[in-house]
Amino acid sequence: MDASLAGKKILITGASRGIGAAAAKACIRAGAEVILHASGPGGAATVLAAELGLSANRFLFENLARPQAGERLFARALDCLGRIDGVVNNAGVYLPTPLAPANDNKWSTGWADTLAINLQAPADICRDAIAHFRARGNGGIIVNIASRAGHRGDGPDFAAYAASKGALLAMTKTWARGLAGENILLYAIAPGWVETRMAPEDIEARKKALAEIPLARVADPQEIAAMIVFLLSGVCASATGATFDINGASYVR
């Protein structure tokens, strides 16, 4: 059975680069109509829009750290597309929250921004998407991009990141269990290191990261995008609530 997205309308957050950009390209190839999000105009968003031949109104800009940004984004996307069949909550940040007392400002702002962007905004978008799916009466699909860190934790100075992704996983499972009877399906993807801006660039750090990956390489964004398309297609609805680990066997549950 082909994982086709023909006729589907999809909102993808954090789509200007990395996993989000790869997902946008893959969804379009699979036949979807997309509406994309980035934190601000210019740069990568402009390049990607030109590459995909998208009109200016198909890239929406919202700083997801701001209150109700997720709600505003979904409303704007819905206004643009008329309906939404699927959502990919991909936008996220990897900010340090240092334990050392000398870093109190980084601690407080790191936790606040991480939880706002990685958890509150996706939660708000999910809530509004669920309301939209219910109003239409024929279901819908949400894919939340979490992280290996949501299962196994992260370094001591990145507790906020791990906590936000762990909460995202729990949120996904909760709504998947509660809404499956309405044909509202939720999935999570938990990548390890992916070849994006978040991947280690320092030579020694990269060596250390690769040493713990049996596959001996970090994942490619296109690999995550392929799974996103598969899940959005609805060809395996019985997998709702599942988390798909894409980490080169570096963390096997």
- Work out the pLDDT band at 197, boundaries 50, 70, 90: low
Q: Give me the sheet containing 243-246, strands edge to edge.
A: 59-61, 33-38, 9-12, 86-89, 140-145, 184-191, 243-246
Tokens of 200: 């280690």
Q: What is the mean pLDDT of the chain?
A: 94
Q: Are 124 and 161 in contact (CB under 8 A)?
A: no
Is 94 labeled as catalytic in the residue annotation?
no
Domains of the chain: 9-158+167-246 (3.40.50.720)
Task: List CB contacts of 45: < 8 A, sequence separation 6 or more.
Answer: 15, 16, 36, 38, 59, 61
Helix, strand, coil percent values for the chain (each to nearest 5): 50, 15, 35
Cα 118 to Cα 110: distance, rounded to the nearest angstrom: 11
Is 62 in contact with 37 (CB distance < 8 Å)? yes
The residue type at 185: L
Indicate whether 1 pLDDT > 80: no
pTM over 0.85: yes
pLDDT of amino acid 205: 66
pLDDT 10s digits, 12-71: 999 999 999 999 999 999 999 999 999 998 888 989 999 999 988 899 999 999 999 999
Q: How far apart, in whole angstroms, are the C-alpha atoms of residue 16 and residue 169?
A: 24
Closest CA to 73 of 49, 91, 56: 91
pLDDT tens digits, residue range 211-224?
899 999 989 999 99
- Pick the catalytic residue: 94, 161, 187, 251? 161
Alpha-carbon distance of 58 to 80, in angstroms, equals 8
Report the amino acid identity of residue 68.
Q
Q: Is the pLDDT of residue 178 over 80?
A: yes
Per DSSP, the chain holds a count of helices (H) and strands (E) of 9, 7
Per-residue pLDDT, averaged over 68-86, amounts to 98
Using the predicted structure, report yes or no on whether residue 196 has a pLDDT greater than 80: no
- Running DSSP on this structure, what letter comes out for residue 36? E
Q: Are 167 and 176 in contact (CB under 8 A)?
A: no
| Structure tokens that stand for 34 in this block | 């997309």
| The pLDDT of residue 199 is above 60 | no
Please report, in angstroms and rounded to a whole number, the separation of the first and last CA atoms in the chain.
Answer: 28
